[in-house]
Structure 1
Amino acid sequence: MKIFTIVLTISWLLCPGEMKEWPTHTICKTKDFEAYYKSCDPLQDVGISFNPCSRNLKQHIIAKIGVTLRQDINLLSINTRIYYNGAYLFHEEKTLCEKTAPKLSFCGKRKGEFVLYNHSVKFGFPSLPKGEYFITLELLNENNYIVACANATLYSHPPV
């Protein structure tokens, strides 16, 4: 009976199911601001949150990102693209972890470990202008494997 249960569980895990992509998650929603994201890594979902939920960026925002590693991260880079109302706005590639100079606490973590980024973020402008923002984030390790990947959509609605 145990073997049957194990075989059934493994086949259930390995068989393709109905889900073709990860669901869209709501980060937050207020009268003047909405934020949603979806993992673009076909094998794993990520967790993202930030607080407070506001288009006002004068204050520090606490950003949290959680993921279980499928790859080691001796070297880690982030690739960010931002679109505003459908038009390409910005692209940045930045190294977050290097073998000789780790900048973040999770640099050097190994496959299977859970990583939680939980830090305050400060932006260089007071608020998001009215509009729709689409942001792609990719974290890549030294072998160019995706460590985490997400697509976020932000809606900024100034008060009337």
Structure 2
Amino acid sequence: MKTSNVLVLISVLLFINVSTEWPTHTVCKEDNLEIYYKSCDPQQDFAFSIDRCSDVATHTFNIRAALVLRHSIKELYVKTDLIINGKTVLTYSETLCEPGHSKLIFCGKQKGEHLYYEGPVTLGIQEIPQGDYTVSAKLTNEDGVTVACADFTVKNYLEYY
């Protein structure tokens, strides 16, 4: 009898592990702009939000992001890809944290610490491209390990004048 209970427990644990996929989260949804995201890190989801969808069309807007670090970040790098119809059309990468030069307040955080950012973000572009596309963003540390990863789906039908 105990053997059958153990087998059932192992089966349930394996099924849960195999079927885990992070949900798609809605960042915002307004008349002409929709933004969704899904963690592409199989081991961790995270929280992300903005104040108002319409703020994204401005040069600078406020965000909130939070996660528990699974890896320390002495150095932190971001790589972002713009993907249209399954093809990467633009890639951007930048060093965010490195010894002696940190652009972010959470540089140097250790594994297990809570990372929370609330404040302004500047995209560095004047307009959000129109259409349906994906923005893939990946943060890695000095060991090349993923700290956070997400695919953002953007559906923009705003008209700029």
TM-score normalised to structure 2 length: 0.81
Deviations 1:103-153 (Å, cap 9, x if unpaired)? 211000000011012221234444324201201111100110000010110
Rounded to whole Å, the distance in 1 between the matches of 2:42 and 2:142 is 20
Secondary structure at 1:112 match in 2: coil
> What pairs up with 1:90-101 in 2 under 5 angstroms?
90-101=90-101
8 Å CA contact 1:61–1:120 kept in 2: the answer is yes
Rounded to whole Å, the distance in 2 between the matches of 1:88 and 1:34 is 20
> How many positions carry a matched residue from both structures?
151
In the alignment, which residue of structure 1 is the partner of 2:21? 21
Q: Give the unaligned 5+ runs of structure 1.
A: 1-9
8 Å CA contact 1:141–1:147 kept in 2: the answer is yes
Once the two structures are TM-superposed, the CA of residue 55 in structure 1 deviates from its matched residue by: 7.1
C-alpha spacing 1:16/1:30, structure 2 compared with 1 (3 Å): same
In the alignment, which residue of structure 2 is the partner of 1:71? 71
In the alignment, which residue of structure 2 is the partner of 1:37? 37
In the alignment, which residue of structure 1 is the partner of 2:148? 148
Decide which moves more: 97-106 or 78-87. 78-87
Cα RMSD, aligned residues only:
2.5
Once the two structures are TM-superposed, the CA of residue 22 in structure 1 deviates from its matched residue by: 0.5
Rounded to whole Å, the distance in 2 between the matches of 1:12 and 1:119 is 44
Once the two structures are TM-superposed, the CA of residue 20 in structure 1 deviates from its matched residue by: 3.1
Q: Give the unaligned 5+ runs of structure 2.
A: 1-8
Give % identity.
37
Once the two structures are TM-superposed, the CA of residue 12 in structure 1 deviates from its matched residue by: 9.8
C-alpha spacing 1:124/1:76, structure 2 compared with 1 (3 Å): closer
